[in-house]
Amino acid sequence: MTIVHLLERNAREYAGDTALVEINPDQPETRKLTWSEYELVEPTMRVPHYRREISWEVFNEKANRCANMLKSNGIGKGKKVAILLMNCIDWLPIYFGILKTGALAVPLNFRYSSDEIEYCLSLAEADVLVFGPEFIGRVENIAEKISKKCDLIYFGAACPAFADDYNDLISECSGKFPECELTEEDEAAIYFSSGTTGFPKAILHNHQSLIHSCRVEQAHHGQTKDDCFLCIPPLYHTGAKMHWFGSLISGSKAVILKGTQAKNILEAVSREKCTIVWLLVPWAQDILNALDRGEVNLADYELSQWRLMHIGAQPVPQSLIKRWLEYFPEQQYDTNYGLSESIGPGAVHLGIENVHKVGAIGIPGYGWQVKIVNTSGEEVKKGEVGELCLKGPGVMICYYHDEAATAEALKDGWLYTGDMAMQDEDGFIYLVDRKKDVIITGGENLYPVQIENFLSAHPKIKDVAVIGLPDSRLGEIAAAIIEVKPDMECTEDEINEFCMELPRYKRPRRIIFADVPRNPTGKIEKPKLRKIYGAEGLVDSQNKS
C-alpha cells in the first residue's frame, strides 16, 4: 500500500466528493465557473477567482495526465522531478503525478534564491523542474546552466521561451492510470533541510515513510470522511503535506488558503465548515490579538464545527494556549514535533487528551520510539538533558550523496535529531535547546552563517554574529551582533539599508553594536551571546519592521 493507492481508492469510492478547495482572498471573486468549465477556457483567457474546487475523481485524473506526460518524456523509476510552485489546487495533483511514474518528487522551498535552486537541483540530480510564474526570473537566471541536465516545464499562463508549457504537454495525455508497480520500499521523495552552514541537505524517503505519515496523522487526530482540514502553510514543507495526508487517508475535504490574515482564516473556517486547522504560533497570536482588539468578532462566524487546533514547527508558549482556550474552550488542542528527516510532524506529539501538559512536546507518536542520550550514546535518566533520538517507519533512508552526514545522523536505526531534551516523571518530553544554531522564526528556518556571510561584506563591519532571540509572536527573531571596525562609526539605519538585498524573512530584526566574543579556536561564543542578550526578555516583533 502506498499513498498513490490511497488516491486511486478515493477516486473510486468518493469520485464526486470534494477533495480540494483553493481560496485566494487577494483575488476578486468573479463569475462562478465549475472546474470543468475552467478547464475549457484558454489559459491566456483565464481570470483568477476567489474559490476553486476539484473532486477526488478530477484530482486523480489530473495526476494521471501529469504522470502520462512525464512518462512520455522518459520519466520513470529512479528519475527525479522537482516542484517549484506556490500553493495552488494543482500542487498536489502534480506531486501525485510524479509519484505515479515511480519517479521521486523533489519539492523546493519557494523562498530559494537562484543559487539555492541550482544547488538543490544539482544535489538531487533532478531530471525535470516544474515551476510557476512567480519564479520565472529566478529560473531564467540559471536556465542556461540547469537546462543542460534538467528539462524546464512551466505551469501557468504566458510560458517563457526557455521552458516548455505544462498545459500544452498534457493536452493530449490520457486521464487513465499509468501502470507502475510500487511498493513501500521504493524511493519516493527528496526533501531539503539545512544545518547552520546554510546550504540544504537532500533527505531521501521511501513510500513507507509517506504512508506511515498518513497513519500517524489519522491516529493522532482521528480524521473521518466528515472532517475538513484547513491547509495554510506551504506544501513544499513536510509539515503541511503530512498533515494533509490525514485528509487523504480518510477521503475528506481539504481547503488550501492563500494568506494568513486572522479574518481570512476565520472566514475560511466558517464558510468551508473546517473542523481541523494547523497553525503556526504567529498566526495563532494574530487571531488572538485581533480578537483582543475587537477587529474580529467570533459571533460573526460559524465555528461550532471547528474541533481541533494544533501547532507545530516551533516551541509553543504556554500562555498562548491558555489564551486560546479562553476564546475556544470547546476545542481540542495538540502539539506536533518532527523533522524532515522523520517525514515531518508526529514523531512526538502532545495528544489531545494531555492539554494539562502544554509546554511539553509530548510523548512518542504512533509507531515511533524515542530515547534521550548523552554524548556516549547512553540513555539518560528522567529529568536529565540529552539529545533526542527517534526510531520508526518514517525515518529517512539517508542524506542523498552525503555519507558523512548520514553516518552522523543515523546510528543503529536511530535518528539523532540534534535537539536537546529531557523527559519528566510522567514520560513527557520537553525541548531544552538545540545543538544547531538554526533560528526558527514563524516556523521558518534561518541559517545564521548565511546572514553573517552577507553582513561581513559591509565595509564597516569587523566581525558579526547572528543569534536567535525570544519573540512573543514569531518564537524567535534573528539578531545581529556587529563589531564595527576601529575608528569607524555605523548606524542601525545603514545596516538595515544594506540588508534590503536579503529576502525580507532573512533580514535581522534587531541590530546590536558590540564586541563579538570568540573562543581560542576562533569559534564565535554564541551561548555567551544568548545569555547576555536573551535575558533581556521577549521582543515584540509586531513593533519591528
- In this structure, of 36-45, 110-119, 230-239, the range with the lowest mean pLDDT score is 36-45
Q: Residue 434 — pLDDT band, cuts 50, 70, 90?
A: low
Q: How many CB atoms lie within 10 A of CB 359?
A: 15
* pLDDT reported for residue 37: 36
Dig out the grid coordinates for 56 from the structure: 477526488
Assess whether pLDDT exceeds 70 at residue 236. yes
Q: Give the whole-angstrom CA distance, residue 198 versus residue 210.
A: 26
Residue 139 and residue 84 in contact, taking contact as beta carbons nearer than 8 Å? yes
Please count the helices (runs of H) and the strands (runs of E) in the chain: 16, 27
Q: Give the whole-angstrom CA distance, residue 11 versus residue 54.
A: 11
* pLDDT reported for residue 313: 66
**Range 450-479 average pLDDT:** 88
Q: Which residue has the cell 508558549?
A: 317
Q: Give the whole-angstrom CA distance, residue 218 versus residue 322.
A: 26
Assess whether pLDDT exceeds 90 at residue 79. yes
Q: Residue 39 — pLDDT band, cuts 50, 70, 90?
A: very low
Q: Give the whole-angstrom CA distance, residue 200 versus residue 193.
A: 5
Assess whether pLDDT exceeds 50 at residue 432. yes
In degrees rounded to 5, what are phi and psi of residue 480? -105, 120
**Range 507-524 average pLDDT:** 81
* pLDDT reported for residue 53: 95
Q: Which residue has the cell 481540542?
A: 332
pTM of the model: 0.82
Spell out the residues 6+ positions from residue 487 whose beta carbon is closer than 8 angstroms to its own. Answer: none
Q: Residue 27 — pLDDT band, cuts 50, 70, 90?
A: low
Alpha helices in 111-189 (DSSP H): 114-124, 136-146, 166-170
E strand or H helix at 319, and its extent? helix 318-327
Q: Residue 38 — pLDDT band, cuts 50, 70, 90?
A: very low
Q: Residue 385 — pLDDT band, cuts 50, 70, 90?
A: confident
Assess whether pLDDT exceeds 60 at residue 87. yes
Residue 245 and residue 213 in contact, taking contact as beta carbons nearer than 8 Å? yes
Alpha helices in 376-432 (DSSP H): 403-409
Q: Is 265 helix (H, G, I), strand (E, B) or coil?
A: helix
Q: Give the whole-angstrom CA distance, residue 390 versus residue 372.
A: 9
State in Å, rounded, how far the first CA of the chain is from the last one. Answer: 48
Q: Residue 201 — pLDDT band, cuts 50, 70, 90?
A: very high
Least Cα distance to 164 among 174, 172, 177, 154 occurs for 154
- In this structure, of 233-237, 261-265, 417-421, the range with the lowest mean pLDDT score is 417-421
**Range 70-94 average pLDDT:** 97
DSSP state of 378: P
Spell out the residues 6+ positions from residue 363 whose beta carbon is closer than 8 angstroms to its own. Answer: 348, 349, 350, 351, 354, 370, 427, 428, 429
**With left for phi above 0 and alpha for psi between -120 and 50, is residue 442 left, alpha or beta?**
left
Residue length, the chain? Answer: 545
**Range 493-521 average pLDDT:** 88
Single-letter code of the amino acid located at 461: I
Spell out the residues 6+ positions from residue 485 whose beta carbon is closer than 8 angstroms to its own. Answer: 460, 461, 462
Q: Give the whole-angstrom CA distance, residue 393 versus residue 211.
A: 9
Dig out the grid coordinates for 143 from the structure: 536556465
**Range 286-301 average pLDDT:** 93
Q: Give the whole-angstrom CA distance, residue 486 versus residue 192.
A: 41
Assess whether pLDDT exceeds 70 at residue 460. yes
Q: Give the whole-angstrom CA distance, residue 97 versus residue 88.
A: 15
* pLDDT, tens digit, 9 for 90 and up, residues 95-153: 999 999 999 999 999 988 899 999 999 999 999 999 999 999 999 999 999 999 999 99
* pLDDT, tens digit, 9 for 90 and up, residues 317-370: 777 898 999 999 999 999 999 999 999 889 999 999 999 998 899 999 999 999
Residue 8 and residue 177 in contact, taking contact as beta carbons nearer than 8 Å? yes
Q: Strand order in 128-131's β-sheet?
A: 164-165, 151-154, 128-131, 80-84, 104-107, 187-194, 200-206, 398-399
* pLDDT reported for residue 317: 74
Domains of the chain (ranges; CATH) run: 3-239 (3.40.50.12780), 439-543 (3.30.300.30)
Least Cα distance to 90 among 168, 175, 167 occurs for 167
